[in-house]
Amino acid sequence: MTRIIVRIGLLLAVSTPLAAQHQAIATRVTAQLGGKFTDAQCDLKAGHFLVSSGKTKLSSYASASDPVIGARLLKESVSVITEAITTKGQQKNGGAWYWLGRTYLLQGDLQGADSALAKATELAPACKADIQSYRTKAWAGVVVAAQGALEAKQMDSAVIFYRAANLIERSAPHGYNGLAAIFYDRQQADSAIHYFGLAAATEPTDPNYVKIRNKAAYNHAALLLNARRAQEAVVAFRRYVTIEPSDDAGKKGLAQAFRAAGMADSAQVVERELLAAGGAQDESLSDGELFDLATRQYNDKNFAEAATTYGRLLQRNPYHRDALYAQANSYLATQNGAGLIAAATKLVELDPLGEYNFQMLAQGYKFEKNQGKLAEVIIAEFALPVDLQFEAFEATADDATFRAKAVGREARDENNKILTPRPVTIVFECLAKDGTVVGSQEATIPALKQGESAAVEVKAPAAGTRAWRYRVK
């Protein structure tokens, strides 16, 4: 599957001491929170002199010019507030947890801050908005730092900052998504799947955040499918198409996941929706995707639907030999004489030495009970000097190559007289989408007795080739 995930350059992570990590995080958080002390923007009482002391030390930190003194003030603030909580009966004091959480933020200890602020929110619900504002600011500081580390290709630092972001704010997808991309680039698929899944599970309301979440949800589903975890991929793609119902890529992925999980009936429902969404010229499905959908319908023995889908592709590219061949076989399976005659006639025009093409055309006339035409086709088939069995066609920007195997036949004329084997010259033609010949090359097939074979390879200089045909010279 295949939508491309943004790749990030790889540097191996190195071990960073916890204190150094906290200091790096503290620097970003402090810059984001600003240099001035701000009181709680809610009705919050300190409740105990030790808590008030901790708050005062936090206030003094904001005006400290010496970083050593500032670090000591923060450490003392944590110490006195922790003492109040653990030994002075302040464990139910929302103010104690609030100021402890804010102090931890400035120390760069986002795990401690998360725990303390969660407790503060529980005990002082009126301060929920104020507490969330500090979480958001701290989160923004470390996310910006992570993105800067990415730009500098410092992947070890980026991982530290993204993990910190996920500690303090779990409702935003950025940190999870960033880690997922790093692990994807390291070819650690299981970790990438895990973090894309966490990003996909967030429920942001900001439109920009929603876009990141939705891309992560697609990547999560696609990686699950690539990892052959089909049942999980079904769940993930179902969630994705719920949040992005207009994205055809998600629907295609869901159909593939259904098939990989052995749920062909469910896949067919999604595929029908995709086909019903646009006309023949609708580009939401590429030629290759249309062909694959039709082939899956054929393999599911939904021959009539397959013929119709191949037909949509042929409306775009009337010279698509594989689609024409498959459509003819679909009509053959449903005994649709008229459809088979139309498709096989075009095949004979494109591939006039293909024995099976004449046999399908004859069968079409047989279905239609047209004895006169049936006889004409049988006579033409009998006269073929070789059966040219198509094997491969490859087109590049500059040329195209046709490969086949010629097998000698016992050719007969209309009087059933055996014809002497003879060389056959063909002119291989490269076609643009509209059927215009953009290049050609002759090739001669040697005289072959019945059962003898020869490889045929023709290469023609031609730019913009979309299809091929050949004619007998």
| pLDDT tens-digit readout, 425-443 | 999 999 998 889 999 999 9
- Asked whether 167 and 111 are in contact (CB, 8 A), the reply is yes
Residue 285's pLDDT is what? 84
On average, the pLDDT of the chain sits at 91
Hey, how many other C-beta atoms are within 10 angstroms of the C-beta on 413?
A: 11
Q: What is the pTM of this model?
A: 0.73
| Residue 288 to residue 268: CA distance in whole angstroms | 17
Residue 13 has pLDDT above 90, yes or no: no
Position of tokens 């076989």? 329
What percentage of the chain has pLDDT greater than the value 70?
95
Hey, how many other C-beta atoms are within 10 angstroms of the C-beta on 189?
A: 14
Give the tens place of pLDDT for each residue, 226-272.
Answer: 999 999 999 999 999 999 999 999 999 999 999 999 999 999 999 99
| Range of lowest pLDDT (31-45, 127-141, 237-251, 399-413) | 31-45
User: What is the 3-state composition of the chain as percent helix, strand, coil, each rounded to the nearest 5?
Assistant: 60, 10, 30
Interval 198-219 mean pLDDT: 96
Give the tens place of pLDDT for each residue, 140-198.
Answer: 999 999 999 999 999 999 999 999 999 999 999 999 999 999 999 999 999 999 999 99
Residue 203's pLDDT is what? 94
- Asked whether 411 and 381 are in contact (CB, 8 A), the reply is no
Q: What angle do CA 293, 4, 185 make, to 5 degrees?
A: 135
Interval 462-471 mean pLDDT: 93
- Asked whether 177 and 196 are in contact (CB, 8 A), the reply is yes
Interval 324-336 mean pLDDT: 97
Interval 34-58 mean pLDDT: 89
Backbone angles phi, psi at 429, to 5 degrees: -120, 135
Interval 274-298 mean pLDDT: 81
- Asked whether 426 and 443 are in contact (CB, 8 A), the reply is yes
**Token pair for residue 176?**
């999870």
Binned at pLDDT 50, 70 and 90, residue 10 comes out as very low
**Token pair for residue 456?**
């045929």
3-state secondary structure of 466: coil
Structural domains present in the chain: 18-169 (no CATH), 223-382 (1.25.40.10), 387-472 (2.60.40.10)
Binned at pLDDT 50, 70 and 90, residue 18 comes out as low
Position of tokens 């990892």? 227
Nearest alpha carbon to residue 52 among 92, 87, 80, 86: 80
Binned at pLDDT 50, 70 and 90, residue 278 comes out as low
| Residue 330 to residue 219: CA distance in whole angstroms | 36
